[in-house]
Structure 1
Amino acid sequence: MNLKPQTSSSNQSERVGIYIHIPFCKQACFYCDFHFSTSLKKKDELIEALIVELDIRKNEFKNSTVATIYFGGGTPSVLTLHEIESILDAVFLHYTVVDDPEITLEANPDDLTASKIIELSKSKINRLSIGVQSFFEADLKLMNRAHNAAEAKKCLTLATQYFNNISVDLIYGIPGGTNQQWQENIQTVLDFNIPHISSYALTVEPKTALDALIKKGKIEDVNERQAETQFRVLIEQLTAHGFKHYELSNFAKPGYYSINNSAYWQGKKYIGIGPSAHSFTGNSRSWNVANNSKYIKALASKILPSEVEYLSVNDKYNEYVMTGLRTMWGLSLPFVETQFGLDFKLYVLEQSNKYIEDGLLYIEANCLKVSDKGKFLSDGIASHLFKI
């Protein structure tokens, strides 16, 4: 899969994505700071509002072709198949869609019953992203996940019978979790022959339940050294089994890279549908209000409740640096010069010198890349290459 930086010029063949935010969960995971509600009372109204938003924004993509549709959240798997299909029908009604789009549904193991998996396999959904996080009960309880380890294994047993394209989420750096348990988590996913794994360090976000519990001394704080050790174990174990570490948090077998996420890293356009969802045009970012009631009320009047930020050249450069250094393709130096100017190319090379000398960055085929040694520090390195 050859992914190269794309310009954001509008043309007939431009491929774009649609992200659909489903802001409902059965219960709140302690680490989560995304927008969601544990009350499903307004689910019907919310779905109707999503359909209205898809309609009123169709002209944004009138000269583009939708290649990916991604149901994120929240927990999209709390929706019934009928509800999912009503949203997809609106997409196919109002937008030009490629013949075989990647359509991903984020799902939790407790929602993926045998009947639900079979239903989904007969729908337009062709990719599942399953939020397992861990196969150990203590980890799941610490994070307040809605499923247990047995449900996680059962859902993977069933899902792999009906879907080829599956991604599993795992979290490392969990307080109290050992390196041996982490290796077992990875091996369990490998045993199911899953072709894509997304893995993230447990992060303590401000104002989350996890943050409060750590401050009260009820849960140990995250140990960064242990997280880094487990990150390196993850890379070693997955690359030994034929996975490509194609983005900092993502690993895939050949042919199973996430088309949706890869488009984000390439700087392609997408619209975000739903409360709190973000959109990107190449020149601006916008985001919807993060409040279900306000979102529903606005869309009932066919008003889009969003704010817009127009991006400067520095903003675009900084974003390219941040996303590019997270991927195995790195930063294309010719692209930096063409897109942003020679000054930016000279600047990034100058700022990179000390990291190259320390073995954290290297240049290969005119691309600036993060070395294995520098991967865990990637985001911090990127911030030092920013132009303020």
Structure 2
Amino acid sequence: MSGIYIHIPFCKQACHYCDFHFSTNTNSTVEMIEMICRELELRKNYLGSDNPVESIYFGGGTPSLIPSPQIEKILDQIHKHFTLNIKEVTLEANPDDLNHVKLQELKALGVDRLSIGIQTFDAGILQFYNRAHSAQESLNAIALAKAAGFQKLSIDLIYGFPSENHDIWIKDLEIALAQDPGHISSYCLTVEPKTALGNWEKKGIYTPSTDDFAAEQFEMLMESMGKAGYVQYEISNFGRPGQFAIHNTNYWLGVPYLGVGPSAHSFDGKIRGANISNNALYIKNLQRNELTFSEEASSTIDTANDYILTSLRTIWGLDLGYLRGNLGFDLLRLKRKETELLFNENLLLKENNRLLLTARGKLLADSIAASLFLE
């Protein structure tokens, strides 16, 4: 099995926290879609004919900005050139792009999961983030999607906005769970250098929340999701049983995927790589039938460390047998001191020959993984 990720590099406006690759200049949209289709054809053998595609994911950027006929062109190209066993087609959307007509068009095309970028229901924070939608538009989008027959919805929330208390976050969680989308992804607000937030912090205009404040909100998130019947199947992702996102789950489990579009990453099961993060150069190269994809140099140790990082974030944990049998590393022997310390501090546990993060360990997921990295 495998997946295909399509990066749509356009946004209506720039969110103040976002450092993903995108452009607010949409003049080249038609050319971009044509070149994405051309890349799909040129890389039709990347996944192999015996590795059927079971998930397609439109990310960005803002895929919901693109007219439905352009989405249809991309899907037609995928159907033409790849072996398929489709189980899920996901499209990221902003609430202000979703109306009855748009939703019906997407559903008719086979899109069966929407990932809606809500981020918060607080009007002041939405404005601070420079989001284009209102809280009411978020609620309307969820209601319209359900009415249109979408049974798989995911909404994104951001925690860690600096405040005097947790009241706004508590309200966000209450409103989100009241909508019962079935899946919620939640990420901590971080300051990236080449963003408005990064510039404001550098100038002393903005002060991010403390690590302790953000950790308290993450703990509140885990508690609220658990009480509502949502399973934390990955550090930042919560879903009702049967509602886990297939594409992202496969990514964390190391399933191969092809990424097309500017800045898109790919993984063939052994080697990772990425496309150029430049819209104009991406289009120019592909007009000459030249790919912009370059492989990332990696060793067996790099592969093992990548597995350690991603697997520990999931409910399935790190398979010690896989690490030893497939990659040749006996982690408990090589990292005996580190693992014993983590066990004793109740940050990590061993169960059925797998390493799993405890509730406390999830607060320190990245640093725990880093402590287990091989050298």
Asked if these proteins are the same fold (TM beyond 0.5), I'd say: yes
Alpha-carbon separation, structure 1, partners of 2:159 and 2:176:
14
Q: Is the 8 A contact 1:336 1:345 kept in 2?
A: no
Matched with 2:135 is 149
User: What secondary structure does 2:53 align onto?
Assistant: strand
Matched with 1:250 is 237
Q: What's the CA shift for 1:120?
A: 1.7
Q: What's the CA shift for 1:341?
A: 2.0
Q: Does 2:113 align with 1:127?
A: yes
Q: What's the CA shift for 1:114?
A: 2.4
User: What secondary structure does 1:303 align onto?
Assistant: coil
The residue correspondences of 1:72-87 to structure 2 (distance < 5 A) are 72-87=59-74
Task: Report the residue type matching 1:88 in the other structure.
Answer: L
Task: Report the residue type matching 2:348 in the other structure.
Answer: L
User: What secondary structure does 2:274 align onto?
Assistant: strand
Matched with 1:17 is 3
Residue-pair matches, total: 373
Matched with 1:5 is none
User: What secondary structure does 1:384 align onto?
Assistant: helix
Alpha-carbon separation, structure 2, partners of 1:103 and 1:177:
40
Matched with 2:55 is 68
Q: Is the 8 A contact 2:95 2:116 kept in 1?
A: yes
Q: What's the CA shift for 1:44?
A: 0.5
Q: Is the 8 A contact 1:355 1:361 kept in 2?
A: yes
Structure 1's consecutive aligned runs of 4 or more residues displaced over 6 angstroms after TM superposition are: none
1:69-128 CA-partner distances (Å, limit 9, x unpaired): 000000000001111111100000110111x43100000001012221222222210100
Q: Is the 8 A contact 2:320 2:330 kept in 1?
A: no
Residue among 250, 269, 275 paired with 2:256: 269
Matched with 2:313 is 326
1:315-345 CA-partner distances (Å, limit 9, x unpaired): 1110110001101111111122111225444
Residue among 20, 23, 47 paired with 2:33: 47
User: What secondary structure does 2:58 align onto?
Assistant: strand
Q: What's the CA shift for 1:177?
A: 7.0
- CA-atom RMSD, angstroms? 1.3
Unaligned runs of 5+ in 2: none
Task: Report the residue type matching 2:120 in the other structure.
Answer: S
Alpha-carbon separation, structure 1, partners of 2:145 and 2:257:
28
Residue among 171, 177, 180 paired with 1:193: 180
The residue correspondences of 1:366-381 to structure 2 (distance < 5 A) are 366-381=353-368
Matched with 1:170 is 157
Unaligned runs of 5+ in 1: 1-14
Q: Is the 8 A contact 1:139 1:177 kept in 2?
A: no
Alpha-carbon separation, structure 2, partners of 1:220 and 1:296:
39
Alpha-carbon separation, structure 2, partners of 1:343 and 1:183:
43
Matched with 1:3 is none
Matched with 1:101 is 87
Q: Does 2:203 align with 1:216?
A: yes
Q: Is the 8 A contact 1:283 1:311 kept in 2?
A: no
Alpha-carbon separation, structure 2, partners of 1:192 and 1:186:
10
Residue among 69, 76, 101 paired with 1:115: 101
Alpha-carbon separation, structure 2, partners of 1:268 and 1:299:
27
Matched with 1:90 is 77
Q: Is the 8 A contact 2:311 2:317 kept in 1?
A: yes
